[in-house]
Structure 1
Amino acid sequence: MDAQSCRVGVRCLLLLVALGLPHSGGERSCEEVRKLFHGRRAGLPDAPRAGPDLQVCISKSPTCCTKKMEERYQIAASQDMQHRLQTSSSTLKFLISQNAAAFQETLETLIKQAENSTSLLFCNTYPSIALEAAVSVQAFFTDVGLFLFGADVNPDTFVHRFFDRLFPLVYSHLINPGGSGSSAEYSECVRLARQDFGPFGNIPQRVMGQMGKSLLPGRIFLQALNLGIEVINTTDHLPFSQDCGRALLKMHHCAHCQGRMPRKPCMGYCLNVLRGCLAQMAELHPHWHAYIRSLEELSDAMHGTHDIEHVLRNFHLLVNDAVMQAHLNGQKLSEQVNKICGHPVRIPTQSGRCSWNRSTEKHDLKVPGRDEGMLANRRKEFINSLRLFRTFYGGLADQLCVHELAAADGLPCWNGEDVVKSYTQQVVGNGIKAQSGNPEVKVKGFDPVINQIIDKLKHVIQEEAIFSECQ
């Protein structure tokens, strides 16, 4: 054999070895495949063999794969893809969950500070009613928190209840303090009389207006953030169809059965497989985009009388205005109450003294206005970050293929059957309707779980729209 023939023979031998194909020097082994699947090699044969029972990785030549391996690697391929999806959404999920927790914590702090400010107002300015008023103050802010965090309570109701309970105290201790106390029946009559002649002027109506306009958007905003977390958790764990699992197996592992381990899938091939597998998620795109837009609009609307932080921080000032107005009109109010309820029957009681915990004042009660706006600033930062994820569900397949899975343009790539220069099949778009022409994955109808999530997104978007129309 001449030198040139020898060189050609060596090149052919090396090529056969690289492809893992049999050659005249002896049988090829599955050792390279074994190394690649080091953690999943159960059932891997020692040497290539015929694979007539294969369902997906069908090959005319001997193969390193078995039917059992196919089944295991189909599960593995789906698990790997689910892990990639969870990794892709991890930043978005952390952004929303971190801010949801921070918003709730900030609101809880603001509610506590507002309660402390109101209690301190009574202790410093109206100490004679501070102890009895404390119960009403605590109940009021408990209701504020319950409404914000989703409970079925009505702001108008608990605002009315607060001022109804406050008036008998103001009347018996500040307007007509002729004795230590009055009977429960008389106090109840005075309470009901408030609704007839409005001793606090328009203050209760102002409080109702401010609470309604500020608490409702805050409540919707928190609900929307929790829904965002639910959407991501749902899509992170959405099971793939059997047809998708087979397509993922073919794209990721069938090349290895033929000894073509270094080759990545072609770009178009990868897009077809992932756009088919993620077609259900792509249906979320317009609703997710609208959801983020509704959060932007809701955040923008939460200012002035719609800013819950401003309203809570200044609640005690309105309460003070209400008490002062009743006090200034004391003589007229006394005459009106006497006509309706008569004169009180005094019951001797032991007067209490307001006891304010100065350590609580120091640590929990911040000076109103000093750091006002912290909630608005946090919302602004959050919305700016969230805008970057408006197209998350619409471009998920493209992102995974372009940045992680597919071969770069111009490089030899795997097309599901062989290593080629380029993928020649039609590349379909995103979404379920576009999958009718997908040569790699068959998609059947809408997933009911995705439909349910879409309905929830529509509900939050509609709530925001109704709120905006009412302003």
Structure 2
Amino acid sequence: MLRLETIICTFSVLSVAARADFKARNCSEVRDACLERGFAFAHVPHQEIPGEDLRVCTYEHTCCTQEMEDRFGQQSKLDFENLLDETSHTLRSTFVSRHKRFDEFFLELLENTERSLNEMFVRTYGKPYMQNAEVFENLFAELKRYYTGGNVNLEEMLNDFWSRLLERMFTLLNSQYVITEDYLECISKYTDELKPFGDVPKKLKAQVTRAFIAARTFVQGLSVGREVAQRVSKVNSTPACIRGLTKMLYCPFCRGLPGVKPCKNYCLNVMKGCLANQADLDPEWNQYIDAMLLVAQRLEGPFNIESVMDPIDVKISEAIMNMQDNSAQVSFRVFQGCGQPKLAEISRSARGTSDVFNARFRPYNPEEPPTTAAGTSLDRLVVDIKEKLKLSKKFWSSLPEAMCVEDRVTAGNASDDDCWNGHTKGRYFPEVQKDGLTNQMNNPEVGVDITRPDTFIRQQIMALRVMTNKLRNAYNGNDISFQDSSDEGSGSGSGSGCTEGCTTDMYSAATETPVVRADRSGPMEDSAPHHAPSIALPTMLALLALTLHRQWR
């Protein structure tokens, strides 16, 4: 009898303990948490049920139904995509906005420069310029076509511009003769020997070529960075990744612990597994950023397109003055080589200086602020983008750390024993994996096939590699679009071929400013004395121009 009473007493104690344990594992907190998160489940258990039907949160007893687990899996994928989108938003918006700013600036700079040259030349040269304005219009059209990605060889295009200008100038300065197309073709053979425009074409070609190569390549670089950031931020999550995310983010619900957040190291392993391919982008991304910073240095120094384009009207006008000053010698040498052209039937010797390129000059102040475009200056744009580029280095390898945000995703400052470790509330012991695909072989949270790199990510790596090569060439003044494919390092493209060793010379050439500038104050006086077309300028004006030229040289 005593033995029976003992058995009954023991059974009663176990029953009370079982009821107490059951009460501690009820699912009321889970039900409340699901409602708070916006889940509309058909049924949430009031107490734990057997968990044999679950595939991810596989526990003996659970607060989840199969419907809940499936919905948690879908939500985990969505949460991950949203978190990645938020984390990469600053990077993506930086490249989108800065590409737009630089592109607008360069295009507006071209438009402003062309308009400024046209207005100044109309006032300064009048009718002769307007009759030959298409030569200058073609110059700016080709510069714009090059900048916007057209297949334009800058050196050849600039050589062609000076050849066309020589033909027009020679015809105007020798208007008493009949100058045929064949004769003009003969003249072009003596261009290099005669140097009718002085050394302006050579200097301007070096400056314009380097500046436009740097500007175009830099904007292309921003475009590539923008596209890569936007594409890589759209993750195609693998089933193994979604499983790992579900276990980390929502299996605590199934264990009756909806308020317990993942341990930091646990989160890092899950994210490193899900973002293994993205991390492999980092080495090429960092090299691309370094190359962008190098070209940015050129933009604010020797290859500053703003400082090149602002005085281009003055430099072209100076070249015209050189041609006028040396017109007698040029004509004599051409007549020797090409023969004396026939005199025109109707003499135009009475035509005044308003029918040839004449100009008045005033001192050019090198401290004048450059022409601004898009409401800013190139220096300000470059300072801003350099700061942003530096911040974007190592972005892809640092994503797991950035996404395991304390207090939002992970347990934050909570004790190591008060976080979700994938099984229960407690310390997470596995070691945090290194970055990249090959380092995920033993990732305890996400199964990763390291033998199958993501093809899409590899395409982005290749795009960055190609762009980095273009940027490095642009840094040295080379446009690889026109280099001999058999010898990329030969510098045979449309750039200068200058290497780092001649940085000082490049800087001085790009920043050199003339001492004189064409007058923008108003039209020429109609009462100017008339001379024969063979005379380049009135005597006093010629002396003034020569004096100013000597000062500049």
Q: What does 1:40-55 correspond to in 2, within 5 Å?
A: 40-42=39-41, 44-45=43-44, 47=46, 49-55=49-55
Q: Which residue of 2 aligns with 1:6?
A: none
Shift of 1:53: 2.8
**1:302: Cα distance to partner?**
2.8
**Aligned partners of 2:438, 2:148: CA distance in 1, in Å?**
39
Q: Which residue of 1 aligns with 2:73?
A: 74
Q: How far is the alpha carbon of 1:187 from its aligned partner?
A: 5.0
1:249 corresponds to which of 242, 246, 250: 246
TM-score, normalized by length of structure 2? 0.72
The answer to whether 1:380 aligns with 2:400 is no
Show the counterpart of 2:135.
136
Q: Which residue of 2 aligns with 1:178?
A: 176
Distance 1:269 1:317, change over 3 A: same
Cα offset for 1:36?
3.7
Return the match for 1:314 from 311, 316, 340.
Answer: 311
Q: State the partner residue of 2:439.
A: 434
Residue 146 (structure 1) aligned with residue 149 (structure 2): no
Partner Cα separation in structure 1 for residue 127 and residue 267 of structure 2: 76
Among 200, 209, 214, which residue is 2:197 paired with? 200
- Distance apart, 1:247 and its partner CA: 0.3
* Aligned equivalents of 1:382, 1:10: Cα separation in 2: 69
Per residue, is there more helix in 1 or in 2? 1
**Counterparts of 1:246 and 1:133, CA distance in 2:** 72
- The one-letter code sitting in structure 1 at the alignment partner of 2:74 is I
User: Do the aligned partners of 2:288 and 2:468 also contact (CA within 8 Å) in 1?
Assistant: yes
Q: Any idea what the Cα deviations from partners look like across 1:355-392, whole Å, max 9, x if unmatched?
A: xxxxxxxxxxxx96355692022101221233122222
Partner of 1:25: none
Change (3 A) 1:371 1:115: closer
2:394 paired with 1:391: yes
Cα distance in 1 between the residues matched to 2:68 and 2:189: 79
CA separation in 2, counterparts of 1:37 and 1:347? Answer: 95
TM-score, normalising length: structure 1: 0.83
Q: How far apart, in 1, do the equivalents of 2:68 and 2:257 lie?
A: 17
Question: Which residue of structure 2 lines up, in the alignment, with residue 3 of structure 1?
Answer: none
More off after superposition, 125-134 vs 208-217: 125-134
Q: How does 1:17-416 map to 2 (within 5 A)?
A: 19-20=25-26, 31-38=31-38, 40-42=39-41, 44-45=43-44, 47=46, 49-66=49-66, 68-173=67-172, 175-178=173-176, 190=187, 194=191, 197-339=194-336, 340=338, 342-343=340-341, 369-370=369-370, 374-403=377-406, 404-408=408-412, 409-410=414-415, 412-416=418-422
Structure 1: gaps of 5 or more residues: 1-8, 22-27, 355-366
Q: Deviations over 1:30-78 (max 9, x none)?
A: 632541442x435544555434332111121143231x44333323211
Root-mean-square deviation (Å)? 3.2
Mapped partners of 2:339, 2:88: distance in 1: 65
The residue number in structure 1 matching 2:457 is 450
Q: Secondary structure at the match of 1:343?
A: coil
In structure 1, distance between residues paired with 2:301 and 2:435? 42
Contact 1:33 1:257 in 2 (8 A): no
| Aligned pairs, number | 439
Identity of aligned residues (%): 25
Please give the alpha-carbon distance, in whole angstroms, between the structure 1 residues aligned to 2:382 and 2:17: 65
Indicate the larger mover: 194-203 or 255-264: 194-203
Compared CA separation, residues 105 and 167, structure 1 to 2 (3 A): same
Residues 182 and 346, structure 1, Cα contact 8 Å, conserved in 2: no
Aligned partners of 1:276 and 1:442 also within 8 Å? yes
Counterpart code for 2:441: S
CA distance 1:110–1:344, change in 2 (3 Å): farther
- Letter of the aligned partner of 2:174 in structure 1? N
Which amino acid in the other structure matches residue 35 of structure 2? K
Question: Which residue in 2 is equivalent to 1:24?
Answer: none
State the Cα distance separating 1:447 from its structure 2 match: 1.3
Distance 1:186 1:239 in 2: 67
Does the 8 Å CA contact 2:282/2:397 hold for their aligned counterparts?
yes
Residues 426 and 338 from structure 1, CA distance in 2 versus in 1: closer, same or farther, beyond 3 angstroms? same
1:266 shift after superposition: 1.1
Q: Which moved more, 1:339-348 or 1:47-56?
A: 339-348
Separation in 2 of the partners of 1:13 and 1:141?
88
Looking at structure 2, the residues matched to 76 and 331 of structure 1 have their Cα atoms a distance apart, in angstroms, of: 84
Q: CA deviation at 1:283?
A: 1.4
Match of 2:430 among 400, 405, 425: 425
Residues in 2 aligned to 1:11 and 1:382: alpha-carbon distance in whole angstroms: 66
Q: Which moved more, 1:260-269 or 1:136-145?
A: 136-145
CA contact (8 A) 2:228 2:460 kept: yes
